[in-house]
Amino acid sequence: MQDEIEVDAVRCFDAIVVGAGLAGVCAVYRLRQAGVSVRVLEAGGGVGGTWYHNRYPGARCDIESLDYSYSFSDELQQEWKWSERYAGQPEILRYINHVADRFDLRRDIQLNTRVVRARFDEAQERWMLFTDTGEVFSAKYAIMATGVLSVAQVPSMKGLEDYRGEWFHTGDWPEQGVDLAGKRVGVIGTGSSATQLIPIVAEQAEHLYVFQRTANYTMPAQNHPMKPEVEQEWKKHYPDRRKFAWASGFGHNQVTNHMSGKEMSAEARLAELENRWRLGGLYMMRAFKDILTDPEVNEIAAEFVREKIRATVQDRQTAEALCPRDLYIGTKRLCSGTNYYETFNRRNVTLVDVKNRAIERITADGILLEDGSEYEVDALIFATGFDAMTGAMNRINPIGRKGRALREAWAAGPQTYLGLCVAGFPNMFVITGPGSPSVFSNMVTSIEQHIEWTVACIEHMRAHGLSSIEPTVQAQEDWTRHVTEAAGKTLYAQSRNSWFHGANIPGKPVVFMPYVGGVGNYYQTITRVAQSGYEGFRFSSAPAVRNASYAGET
Ligand code: N01
């Protein structure tokens, strides 16, 4: 499609960054340092991305705050004080705002501006980006910092339009908050968001109904106020801590037990599991080196957690309903919460199984199940997740070379080279995109690695007079195969019913999207590719050269 645009109305920059979450904020800092003119376009009314929109009660990170933070400024990491082991959403949002102010980044960030479409202009070798404010931007580089869990998914349920109460999605929570005191509240979903929210809402609501389709494993976060000695130790060794995280499997400082669960005695295994339970949250997934590859080892950990649930929840039937079955632990993202299972001992909380009797429809007053039972609620909370990893990109649906749309290129599942770039979409960088460690890592580490790589690539292009970069189809196919093979060695390949596979979105291709080969290995790979002169990529220095070489591509 050709756009008729008044040339004067187009605003030109070297780079447009889409999104002002943790990735966009880091990008503008780095691009400015490199002397690249940049404008960040952000749909929301403030910076923060995920942490701006996910304001639901109890929202908290499950990576330790000292790890889940930028490493790009030593002054910043030394001076910022985290109040808790795991930071809550308000504190993380304050941090991101602090970074924006501290480095004077706001003058390059335009809020309340959603990029609705993007098109690569082959003649100019520039991206045109169109916004819901009617503005048009032109940039050499399109840096898509659109987030991996940023498109809230409200399942299509009959009758929602007739519902007389208020309803909300955790990922799009009203900025002014929601008063649930004294109300009958329904929560649909029992994933990470729900398991954080439920204990808090239970304290406010007159009655809370939790509609559970699949029980997941929830670890106690073991959150607590920051211990001064821990903070001091981290700050003393921050460079080493960061180095460790960047070279580690998951981009943080959680220590992994490198023994197989099968090499250990039953007593030693149990002690390790107890230790992991005490450490809290995601530490459980580092209990044995083969917890995600050996079904028997995985089952030992799963049963350990089921026993904890049984020991916590007084009502036997409720306890059994909360015990995950036919689900390898960790293959749906492990949840981390505070007092989650304990909450089901409250008299004002009811667990409603909607696996065996599905939700039939929403009524004017609440939820009707297919067996005819109805639950009246004054407020309904959808904790039903996101169109993960590809949702935000597919919404913009950039048009690349030869008029090809991204949705068409990704119709059978996302294809990228290194999770960073897409064949046929030159000069477009997808930050923490599908095919990179992304959601399998401390996101801040992965974001910084991608931004560092992208900015270095732009500097390389400038230094060598190069006009465009894109991966070859061959490199992209090889990488995508490698991503699939890496997942194939794990239990993820056998547990396809998760958002990691896109299975939560009707019609979405069921393909494992993140790269499980490890953050450190991945970083080595992308660094080696850059150092080798960008193996697997093609550059153009002039349109004539570009057209000739592209015509030969299959
Ligand atoms: O979403 P989810 P989330 N009827 O997709 C249920 C990150 N995160 O927002 O499993 C009934 O995990 C669905 O049931 P089922 C983290 O990476 C991190 O909780 O499909 N139920 C499931 O129980 C996380 O994984 C943090 O059967 C329906 C739930 O809704 C990711 O974000 C905190 C349904 C969705 O769970 C997403 O988490 C929060 C239907 N029609 C989020 N449709 C931390 O850092 C869906 N469900 C701690």
Whole-number Å distance, alpha carbon 477 to ligand 1 midpoint, is 30
Strand ranges (E), 163-305:
166-169, 184-188, 207-212, 218-220
Q: Which residues, at least 6 apart from 430, have a Cβ–Cβ distance to it below 8 Å?
A: 144, 393, 416, 419, 420, 421, 422
Give the position, in ligand 1's atom list, of the atom nearest the Cα of 503. Answer: 20
Report d(CA 390, CA 397) in Å as an integer: 10
Nearest CA owner, ligand 1 atom 1: 385
Report d(CA 288, CA 272) in Å as an integer: 9
Report d(CA 406, CA 424) in Å as an integer: 9
Does residue 56 have its Cβ closer than 6 Å to ligand 1? no
Domain residue extents for the chain: 9-151+387-548, 152-217+330-385
Q: Which residues, at least 6 apart from 242, have a Cβ–Cβ distance to it below 8 Å?
A: 71
Does residue 514 have its Cβ closer than 6 Å to ligand 1? no
315 three-state secondary structure: coil
Whole-number Å distance, alpha carbon 240 to ligand 1 midpoint, is 34
Domain made up of 9-151+387-548: CATH architecture: 3-Layer(bba) Sandwich (3.50)
229 three-state secondary structure: helix
Does residue 383 have its Cβ closer than 6 Å to ligand 1? yes
Does residue 149 have its Cβ closer than 6 Å to ligand 1? yes
Provide the H-helix boundaries in 500-541: 519-531
Whole-number Å distance, alpha carbon 193 to ligand 1 midpoint, is 6
Q: Which residues, at least 6 apart from 543, have a Cβ–Cβ distance to it below 8 Å?
A: 122, 123, 125, 467
Provide the H-helix boundaries in 388-518: 391-396, 406-409, 443-463, 473-488
Does residue 169 have its Cβ closer than 6 Å to ligand 1? no
Nearest CA owner, ligand 1 atom 10: 214
Does residue 495 have its Cβ closer than 6 Å to ligand 1? no
Pocket perturbation via mutation, ligand 1, pick of 85, 167, 369, 384 by most ligand atoms within 8 A of CB: 384
For residue 9, the model assigns a pLDDT of 85
Report d(CA 476, CA 428) in Å as an integer: 14
Report d(CA 168, CA 171) in Å as an integer: 9
Pick from 437, 429, 440, 406: nearest CA to 530: 429
Place of tokens 């199984």: 353
Question: Is it true that 9-151+387-548 and 152-217+330-385 share their CATH fold?
Answer: yes
Series of mean pLDDT values for 10-residue runs along the chain (554 residues):
66 98 98 98 98 98 98 98 98 98 98 98 97 97 98 97 97 96 98 98 98 98 98 98 97 94 97 97 96 97 98 98 97 97 98 96 98 98 98 98 98 98 98 97 98 98 97 98 97 92 96 97 98 97 46 25
The answer to whether 221 touches 62, Cβ cutoff 8 Å, is yes
Q: What share of the chain is helix, strand, coil (3-state, %, to 5)?
A: 40, 20, 45
For residue 548, the model assigns a pLDDT of 35
Sign of the CA dihedral running 95, 458, 516, 322: positive
Whole-number Å distance, alpha carbon 520 to ligand 1 midpoint, is 28
CA distances from 201 to 216, 217, 340, 487 (A): 19, 20, 11, 37
Whole-number Å distance, alpha carbon 232 to ligand 1 midpoint, is 35
Whole-number Å distance, alpha carbon 77 to ligand 1 midpoint, is 31
Backbone φ and ψ for 91, nearest 5 degrees, come out as: -70, -40
The token duo for 297 is 């080892």
Does residue 419 have its Cβ closer than 6 Å to ligand 1? no
For residue 547, the model assigns a pLDDT of 39
Nearest CA owner, ligand 1 atom 6: 189
The token duo for 427 is 């000069």
Query: What region does 441 belong to: left with phi over 0, alpha with psi -120 to 50, or beta?
Result: beta
The answer to whether 471 touches 424, Cβ cutoff 8 Å, is no
* pTM for this predicted structure: 0.96
In angstroms and rounded to an integer, the radius of gyration of the C-alpha atoms of the chain is 24
Report d(CA 27, CA 4) in Å as an integer: 30
* Burial class of 465 by CB neighbour count within 10 A (0 to 12, 13 to 18, 19+): exposed
The answer to whether 444 touches 19, Cβ cutoff 8 Å, is no
Does residue 189 have its Cβ closer than 6 Å to ligand 1? yes
Backbone φ and ψ for 81, nearest 5 degrees, come out as: -115, 120
Give the position, in ligand 1's atom list, of the atom nearest the Cα of 149. Answer: 32
- What is the fold, at CATH topology level, of the domain defined by 152-217+330-385? FAD/NAD(P)-binding domain (3.50.50)
For residue 496, the model assigns a pLDDT of 86
Sign of the CA dihedral running 267, 491, 429, 137: negative
Does residue 324 have its Cβ closer than 6 Å to ligand 1? no
